[in-house]
Chains A and B, each alone.
Chain A
């Protein structure tokens, strides 16, 4: 289907000059969709691609005749089978939702009601619209569970949402969307929250369900590579406007619009020019046989739940060590142990030849200064009530006793270091974009004049283009300031483009460490190979041609 665009189907959806306006808390009106036009033909999958704020989810929800609170339809039409959804009253909209158009949410974990059994939620659509009686709905749901290759399809519905994995929940959400045999299914970033190895299982299940049913779908994503596997046509969005629309092969193969070209360029991994080729240096940070975890310490001196199990690593001065693994592998915990936020149960952490005390409160000011942490979510790590100047200035006062004009001058220097203009020091975090906030987060860590930066998934919440720029900045800073990075990420491309060495973790243990350039070497651990092969590429045939050892997948993927 993907590679054989069908032009035969008639038009199911026509969006004409769609405008949605949001009213901010201060009463200001912002147009978030600025006149969108496109068609969806029956039997095709259309992808909406764009970065955060591009309006892709707003368009997706408009197909269900819904605008989130604070937003309203300010113009245009959304025609489904010739009926304008925007002109309908609430009662008619309810009849349509789940029945003619259904929705697969981004985070199924949050979108399932925690206090109801999965089956009751899946068949609720039939109950609301009176499509099927309870027994028939259940039988149909079990059939869908089977079609989406869920384990034990007969009984999985009797569980509560917290009793199944994230990948399973995402497929259960798809079953919920398909139960009412809708004419249109809207997928809203349905695999974004999943680990790469899990994503493949879910994508395969979605793709075969789409093919089997000849479904019409709108697939929203920020990830071009994912979209390339599943869609017939792609619409590229930015700031509430369509930039480019075309067949999948054309968009990923021969993008016409400069913005699409930038997206594709940001996607292609830049191999670290110096990776592996830099001369060995002295160790700045060493961790030896670290065991750490959560819960009470048992009689054998180990914590109740072990998150990091006997991990050792060496970070060389001026180098970057990437730590990769999937959710729950212990990579972030390892970082928290190094920072002293979670004291290790045993093992040692050596900075510049001095063994550090396990807990942050027992470390000296100079030890704290030398090693700074940068958190994943700058939105929550920055105090919303403080100006950027104060946020960066506080560590200057704390570590270096700077005040007044001297401090101000240094704040401006630091902002310049992260390529931000000096007047931004008067702004509050909420007045910055996501990428700018992450730069401030970085500048705050740099204010201490550290030797080592502990980076926890710092580009994961950013859009591809923005993340690429932040990575570029990290490389420049490393050259200028001779910094060493311990860089935790789930994204093998990010780690490969930034780091000299890569360490792979699974289930709290270190599997292997290797030079970044040797990622594709034959000697790699099977799990490393699985991770590398699970990352989608822009090639639309990638998913269909993907060969993975099922034994290996069973062992390592938590789908």
Chain B
């Protein structure tokens, strides 16, 4: 039995690694297709073709793409993330500066979203058909149909411009006190929570509602179980797989939200770094950031798969 679990988990990991490899191919060659390159961006529009060619040779950009791809992948594997010619610093140091900011933002968001969304979803399922359930479901649908940039813009207009309660930008100076930090985080975190919460509420409610319709939950009811016991002891353990998947999906949706939120609030995170990299055609930076985002996504999905496998009693 356990051998089979290990085999299945090994299989999932192998697929994840293969996907990461394919993603690296896609990332590298799609960024190659972007118009313009680092040389042109560094020298400006008015530069002569000869000067650009010379710089390309210095930077090694004239060599075949396939060769540069393997150099890049080998670099990634050995921990060398490349060199950003635009900012004249190693990509690793740029990332190291920004990654903790993004992780903080993501961690705060997850810490709020997961308990909030699962709690609301489970209670909506327990009181299915009640006013609470209907209110939660309608709000969730409303939120899911609002794009994040719109929520972000509306919040800025209302809380920063109109009421002037919160700073519009989330730049945190090194000397900031705790209150400043909290105020700076309120809006970006709210936008991300709104964006990722609604799907999770809807999916966890649906997963539990499905399990509630099964004969074994009816049996529990006929043994005298209360409604919360039916949900928590009988329906929930059988809904782990779909719920974990919905959490992973919502969390990966967070990645897209982060790009918008960091841009709108000028938050110094990894996504903002990447967006800046695109405007300056800083290829090594874009490629590395993309790989970090994809890696994060794959870790989430693979972890969800593995938890789903472990939660299946037939495999125990």
Contact = CB atoms under 8 A, between A and B. Distances in A.
A99 interface: yes
B216 A110 contact: yes
A64 interface: yes
A125 B314 contact: no
Contacts of A116: 233-234, 237, 313
Contacts of A96: 224
A64 B219 CA distance: 11
B133 to A, nearest CB: 15
Contacts of A110: 214-216
A98 B223 CA distance: 4
Nearest to B229: A128
Nearest to B218: A111
Nearest to B217: A113
A92 to B, nearest CB: 11
Nearest to B314: A162
B215 A111 contact: yes
Interface in B286-316: 311, 313-314, 316
B224 A128 contact: yes
A115 interface: yes
A114 interface: yes
A110 to B, nearest CB: 4
Interface residues of A, number: 27
Interface in A59-83: 61, 64, 66
Contacts of A105: 215, 219, 222
A66 B221 contact: yes
Given A115-B238, A115-B313, A162-B314, A97 B221 contact: yes
B220 interface: yes
A114 B238 contact: yes
B223 A125 contact: yes
Interface string B186-230: 000000000000000000000000000011111111111110010
B219 A103 contact: yes
B222 A124 contact: no
B218 A176 contact: no
A243 interface: no
A94 interface: yes
Nearest to A114: B313
B231 to A, nearest CB: 13
A107 interface: yes
Give the residue among B216, B221, B316 with the most A Cβ atoms within 10 A.
Answer: B216
Contacts of B215: 105, 107, 110-111
A102 B223 CA distance: 7
Contacts of A94: 224-226
A113 B216 contact: yes
A314 B82 CA distance: 74
A160 B314 contact: yes
* Interface-centre pick from A99, A111, A125, A160 (highest chain B CB count, 10 A): A111
A115 B222 CA distance: 19
B314 A114 contact: yes
Contacts of B218: 111
A112 interface: yes
Interface centre among A115, A128, A129, A160 (most CB of B within 10 A): A115
B220 A113 contact: yes
B224 A111 contact: no
A430 interface: no
Contacts of B238: 113-115
A520 interface: no
Sort chain B's interface into a size bin. Answer: 20 to 34
A112 B216 contact: yes
Interface string A120-137: 000011001100000000
Contacts of B226: 94
Contacts of B220: 113, 124
Contacts of A115: 237-238, 311, 313
Contacts of B311: 115
A536 to B, nearest CB: 25
A110 B216 CA distance: 6
A97 B222 contact: yes
Contacts of B237: 113, 115-116
Which among B219, B226, B229 has the greatest number of chain A C-beta atoms within 10 A?
B219
A403 B215 CA distance: 46
B311 to A, nearest CB: 7
Contacts of A64: 222
Q: Which of B216, B221, B223, B314 has the most CB of A within 10 A?
A: B223
B234 A176 contact: no
Interface string B218-262: 111111111001000110011000000000000000000000000
Contact of A162 (B214, B216, B219, B313): B313
A95 interface: yes
B224 A98 contact: yes
Contact of B219 (A95, A111, A128): A111
A61 B238 CA distance: 25
A171 to B, nearest CB: 15
Contact of A99 (B217, B224, B234): B224
B216 A128 contact: no
Nearest to B237: A115
Nearest to A95: B224
A129 B314 contact: no
Contacts of B219: 103, 105, 111-113
Contact of A97 (B214, B224, B233, B314): B224
Given A112-B216, A114-B216, A160 B223 contact: no
Contact of B222 (A66, A95, A113, A129): A66
Nearest to A120: B233
Nearest to A65: B222
A160 B313 contact: yes
Given A110-B216, A113-B216, A115-B311, A160 B316 contact: yes
Nearest to B227: A90
A116 B220 CA distance: 12
Interface in B137-179: none
A113 B215 CA distance: 9
B223 A113 contact: no
Nearest to A107: B215
A105 B217 CA distance: 12
A97 B223 CA distance: 5
Nearest to B214: A110
Interface string A121-161: 00011001100000000000000000000000000000010
A128 B226 CA distance: 9
A110 B214 CA distance: 8
B225 A111 contact: no
Interface in B10-69: none
B185 to A, nearest CB: 39
B235 to A, nearest CB: 9
A409 B237 CA distance: 56
Contact of B223 (A61, A162, A176): A176
A238 B222 CA distance: 25
18 contacts: A66-B221, A66-B222, A98-B222, A98-B223, A99-B224, A103-B222, A105-B222, A107-B215, A111-B215, A111-B218, A113-B216, A113-B217, A116-B237, A124-B223, A128-B223, A128-B224, A160-B313, A176-B223
Given A124-B223, A124-B225, A128-B224, 7 more contacts: A94-B224, A103-B222, A110-B215, A111-B215, A112-B219, A125-B224, A128-B229
A-B residue pairs, 3 tightest by C-beta: A98-B223, A98-B224, A97-B224
Interface of A: 61, 64, 66, 94-99, 102-103, 105, 107, 110-116, 124-125, 128-129, 160, 162, 176
